[in-house]
Amino acid sequence: MVRMMKDYISFSSKNAAERNEYLKAAYTEKQQRKSQLSVSVRQLQQLALECGVEETDPKYYAVSQICKDDYSREFFVNMTTPEGRLAFLKRYCRQHNLD
pLDDT digits (tens, 9 = 90+) for 45-82: 999 999 999 999 999 999 999 988 888 888 998 999 99
- Residues 67, 41 contacting (CB under 8 angstroms): yes
Q: How many residues does the chain have?
A: 99
**Which residues constitute the domain of residue 72?**
2-95
The number of distinct structural domains making up the chain is 1
Whether 30 contacts 36, CB under 8 Å: no
Task: Supply the pLDDT for residue 51.
Answer: 92
| Residue-level pLDDT at 55 | 92
* Rounded distance between C-alpha atoms, residue 59 and residue 57, angstroms: 5
Q: pTM of the full predicted structure?
A: 0.62
Which tops the pLDDT comparison, 86 or 1? 86
